[in-house]
Amino acid sequence: MTQPDDVTRRTWLAAERTWLAWWRTALGACVAGLGVGRVVPDLADLERWPFVVLGAGYAVIAVVIFLAGAWRWRTTEDALRRGEFAAFDRRLVGALSAAGVVLAAATLLLILVEL
């Protein structure tokens, strides 16, 4: 049988794993920014500026993801301390999703234009 303390501990550990997932995602966006902005133009001998702009976009979204992850972790931790649930802000989900769609579409467009 599971003890209540075990459930609480698992919930806290799940919140920590979620925060680490935010970090992994942000690091992935950093790597994408570096790859798109610096590596691809050199490897493909292409015009540099569009890739630098797009790479900077990935870097900006990485910063936002780092900040959003920290904010989410804090609100979740505060809610856990009060014994409550902290719903995820739909505006943040929408903004991050929209930014991801814009960056992905811009990447696709740049790939198609540079072929």
Say if CB 96 and CB 60 are below 8 A apart.
no
The pLDDT, as a whole number, for residue 47 is 87
Q: What is the pLDDT of residue 45?
A: 81
CA distances from 85 to 21, 40, 44, 55, 69 (A): 19, 44, 49, 36, 17
More confident residue, 115 or 31: 31
CB atoms within 10 A of CB 99: 17
- From residue 96, alpha-carbon distances to 49, 56, 72, 74, 90 in Å are 24, 16, 13, 18, 10
The per-residue pLDDT for range 95-110, each reduced to its tens digit, is 999 999 999 999 999 9
Question: What pLDDT score does 41 carry?
Answer: 87
How many C-beta atoms surround the C-beta of residue 98 within 10 A?
10
Considering only residues 59 and 81, tell me which one the structure prediction assigns the higher pLDDT: 59
Give the model confidence (pLDDT) of 36-80 as tens digits. 999 988 888 888 999 999 999 999 999 999 999 999 999 999 998
* DSSP state, residue 87: P
